[in-house]
Amino acid sequence: MNVCKVFVPYGALGTGIPEESFESGIRMGPDVIACDAGSTDSGPYYLGTGKGKYAPDSVKEDLLRMVKAGCKLDVPVIVGSAGTCGTDSGVDALFEICAEICREEGLSAKIAKIYAQQDPAQLKAKFAAQKIKPLDAAPNIDGSVFDRCTNIVGLAGAEPFQQALREGADIIICGRATDTAIIAAMPLMKGCHEAGAWHGAKIAECGSLCTTNPSEGGVFVIFDEEGFTIEPTASDSRCTAYTVSAHMLYENSDPYHLREPSGLLDTSNAIYAELNDRRVRVTGSTFTHQPYTIKLEGSARIGYQTVTMVGIQDKRIMENPEKWLGTLKGYVIRKLNKYQFDPASYEVDFKLYGWNAVSGSIPPADYMPREVGLVMTVTADTQELATRIAKIYNPYLLHFPVNLDEQLPTFAFPFSPAETERGAIYEFMLHHVAEVAHPLELFRVEMVVV
Amino acid sequence: MTLGETAKYVRSKNAGPFWMTIDVFCDSREAYDRLKASTVLRADSIAEVYHVDTNAVKRFEVDDLMVIKASLPRPYPQGSRHERDMHSGQQYVQLLDLDI
C-alpha cells in the first residue's frame, strides 16, 4: 500500500505554533514537512512590490524548526508561495533566510528554488494566440495589461515540486503555487489516491483551521491509495467529520469543487468517517483530468495615495453626516475646478467610520452615532498631486460648518501634518488562466547546495 | 426572527481577489430548514444586498453540514483604491438583521 505522511505545521510560514505541537507532529514521523508562505489575501500591494507580509524574524523562526526537523528525520521540507506573493524576489529572500539558517546551524542541504514569476512578453504572445482565458468575474483585459503589471506570477501545480524532489532536494522553496500543490506533490508522486491527495491538501492547507482549536497547532495527514486520514498535532484539539468537511467551504466559492492546474476535484460524494475522537478518514472524492492550465495573478501600480483622517462629534453633524459631507464636497470641488486640476488625474474617496464605512449601505433611520471618523483618500497620478489635493481639502475637513453663516467649528485631527502619504498603490489586474504545453512550461527549477 | 438569531454562525471572506463567499451555519435541522425556505438567502435577495447581478450569485445548500453558502463577485477587486473591507470579513454583518 502506497502511503505518504505529511506534516503541515503552519497555516502560513511566519504565523507560528507552540513548540509542543510542532514536536508532536515530528514524533509522528512525517515523510515530508510542508506549508505555504503566502496568498493574495493581504491585497495587491505585496504582489505589486514583490514584498512579503510577515516579519522576517517570524518567518525565520518557523523555517528554522522545519529545516532542523527535516534534517533530523532526513525528509524533505517544502515551502510554497514564498514571500507572501510568490515573486522571484520572494523566493530569493526566503532562500537567503534558509541559507542563513543552514550556516548558523552548520547544516548542509540541497535547496531547490522554483521560480514562478512570468515574462510579460511570453504572456503577451500567449494572449495573442488566445491561450489566456478569463475566469468567472475576471476584468476585461487587452495585451497591454502584461506590461502594466509590475509583477505577474503563475500558480505552480504539483509537477515542479515533484521535479525538485526527483532531483533530490532536501528543501524546496517555491514561488507562487496553489496551496494544495505544495502538500499534494509528494503523495501524488508516491502513488497515493489522486483525488484524496488534492482533497487532503485542501483540508490541511490552512493548518489547524480544520480542527476544533483553530488557533493552535498543525495537522498531520496520512495519504494512501484510497483517501486520507487527518488529525491535529495539538494535544487539546480534535478533527471531527464536521470540522474537516466544513473546511471545504473556507475561502472557496464552491463547497464541492476545486480547480487545480491538472483537473477538477469533486468532493460531493466524499465520506468523512470519525476513526476516534481526534482522527477523521476521508474517501470517495473524485478527480477529473482537464487541459492543463496555470492560473495567473498580476498587480499593477495605478497611482499614489494620500490619506487624511479626522474625528467628529458635533451633534448636528451626527444627525446626518452624509448631508454635511455632501455640502463640503460640493464646496471644495468648485474650488478644485477653479484651480483647473484635470479631473481625470485624481479621485477623492470619503469613508465615514461609525456611520457606514465598512458596508457602504444606508444606516437605519433612527441611527445616530456618538462620533464618526472620516477618512479621506486621494488617489492621483503622482504623490505630489495626491497631497496637493488633500491639502486643498484640509481647512474644510478642519472647520466646515453645518450652515455657512455660523461660527466655524474645529474638528479633531489626530496627526500633524494631517496628510499621510501612502506611496504607490497597486491593484490586481488578472483573474485568468494560461494554457500550457506541459506543467513546467512557466516555471524554472534551480538546484543549489549550501 | 432575524437571520442572526436563527443561524449559529455566519461568516464572509474573500474567495480569491475577485470573489466573496458567505457561509451561514445552523445547529438544528429546524433552523436550517427555516433559512432554506426563507427568501432572505435567495440569490436575488443576496444580489440586492450586495449590489451584484442575480445571475452572478452562486448559492449552495450543504445539507450534511446544515450550511447555506452564497458566493458572489466582489463589487471591485480586492484592495482596489476605494476598498472598504480587504478580506470581506465584515460583509456578512449586513445580513444579520434581516427578518426571515
Q: What's A209-249 look like in SS3?
A: HHCCCCCCCCEEEEECCCEEEEEECCCCCCCCHHHHHHHHH
CB contact at 8 A, A190 and A2: yes
pLDDT value of position A215: 83
Distance (Å, whole) CA B94 – CA A70: 47
Q: Is the dihedral of CA A126, A127, A133, A138 positive or negative?
A: positive
Residue with cell 498587480: A299
Overall average pLDDT of the A266-279 stretch: 96
* pLDDT at position A404 over 90: no
CB contact under 8 Å between A359 and B23, yes or no, is: no
Give per-residue pLDDT as tens, A7-16: 999 999 999 9
Chain B residues lying within 8 Å of A45, measured CB to CB: 79
Q: Are the CB atoms for A264 and A258 separated by under 8 Å?
A: yes
Query: Confidence class of residue A51 from pLDDT cuts 50, 70 and 90?
Result: very high
At residue A159 the predicted structure's pLDDT band, cuts being 50, 70 and 90, is: very high
CA separation for the pair A231, A239 (Å, rounded)? 6
State the average pLDDT for chain A.
96
Question: Do residue B87 and residue A41 have CB atoms under 8 angstroms apart?
Answer: yes
| Chain B residue whose CA is closest to A46 | B79
Residue A439 C-alpha, separation from nearest chain B C-alpha, in angstroms: 22
Mean pLDDT on A421-436: 98
C-alpha–C-alpha distance, residues A185 and A260, integer Å? 12
Give the DSSP letter of residue A1.
-
Report the half-sphere exposure of A222 (CA within 13 A, side-chain side).
12
- Tens digits of residue pLDDT in A291-320: 999 999 999 999 999 999 999 999 999 999
Q: Which amino acid, one-letter code, is at A428?
A: F
3-state secondary structure B34-54: HHHHCCCCCHHHHHHHHCCCH
Distance CA B79, CA A41 (A): 9
Contact at CB, A44 and B21, closer than 8 angstroms = no
Residue of A nearest to B72 (CA): A253
Minimal Cα–Cα distance from A256 to chain B, Å? 9
Nearest to B58 among A254, A351, A360 (CB): A254
Give the list of residues 6+ apart from residue A119 with CB closer than 8 angstroms, or none.
none
**B90/A358 touch (CB, cutoff 8 Å), yes or no:** yes
| Closest residue to B81, CB basis, from A42, A256, A302 | A302
Beta carbons of A44 and B58 less than 8 Å apart: no
Mean pLDDT of the A399-413 span: 93
CA distance A69 to A351: 48
Span between the terminal Cα atoms of chain B, in Å: 6
Of B64, B79, B84, the CB nearest to A427: B79
Residue type, A111: I
Contact B77 A431 (CB under 8 A): yes
Alpha-carbon distance of A430 to A146, in angstroms, equals 9
Cβ burial of B15 (10 Å; 0-12, 13-18, 19+) is buried
Q: Which cell numbers hold the place of A301?
A: 501600480
CB A132 within 8 A of CB A431: no
pLDDT surpasses 90 at A270: yes
Report pLDDT digits (tens) over A72-100.
Answer: 999 999 999 999 999 999 999 999 999 99
* Residue recorded with cell 507562487: A176
Cα separation of A259 and A155, whole Å?
12
Half-sphere exposure of B77 (CA within 13 A, CB side): 22
User: Contact A40/B74, CB-based, under 8 Å?
Assistant: no
* Cα dist from B1 to B34, B35, B97, whole Å: 10, 11, 9
Residues in chain A with CB shorter than 8 Å from the CB of B78 are 40-41, 43-44, 428
- Average pLDDT for A38-67: 95
Q: How confident is the model at residue A286 (pLDDT cuts 50, 70, 90)?
A: very high
Closest CA in chain B for residue A47:
B79
Closest by CA to A7, choosing from A231, A164, A212, is A231
Contacts of B73 (CB under 8 A, 6+ apart): A136, A137, B18, B19, B20, B52, B56
Percent of chain A with pLDDT over 70: 100
pLDDT bin (cut points 50, 70, 90) of residue A114 is very high
Write out the residues of chain B at the interface with chain A, using a CB-CB cutoff of 8 A. 13-19, 21, 23, 25, 49, 56, 58, 60, 62, 64-65, 67, 69, 71, 73-74, 77-87, 90-91, 93-94
* Closest residue, chain B, to A351 (C-alpha): B84
pLDDT of residue B14: 96
pLDDT in tens, A363-402: 988 999 999 999 999 999 999 999 999 999 999 999 999 9
* Chains A–B, number of C-beta pairs less than 8 Å apart: 103
Q: What is the pLDDT along chain B (100 residues), one digit of tens a residue?
A: 999 999 999 999 999 999 999 999 999 999 999 999 999 999 999 999 999 999 999 999 999 999 999 999 999 999 999 999 999 999 999 999 999 8
A44/B78 touch (CB, cutoff 8 Å), yes or no? yes
Choose the mutation target among A39, A41, A85, A297 for the interface with B, i.e. most B CBs under 10 Å. Answer: A41
ipTM of the predicted structure?
Answer: 0.94
C-alpha cell at B75: 463589487
Q: Give the tens place of pLDDT for each residue, A215-251.
A: 888 999 999 999 999 999 999 999 999 999 999 999 8
Q: DSSP character for A105?
A: H
Q: Give the closest of A43, A138, A245 to B65, CB-based.
A: A245
Average pLDDT over residues A424-444: 97
Q: Mark yes or no for CB contact B78/A349 under 8 Å.
A: no
Cβ A251–B13 below 8 Å, yes or no? Answer: yes
Cβ(A272)–Cβ(A241) under 8 Å? yes
Q: Whole-prediction pTM value?
A: 0.95
The closest of A301, A274, A304, A310 to A426, measured between CA atoms, is A301
Closest-CA distance, B2 to chain A, in angstroms, reads: 15
C-alpha cell read off for A393: 481639502
CB A135 within 8 A of CB A295: yes
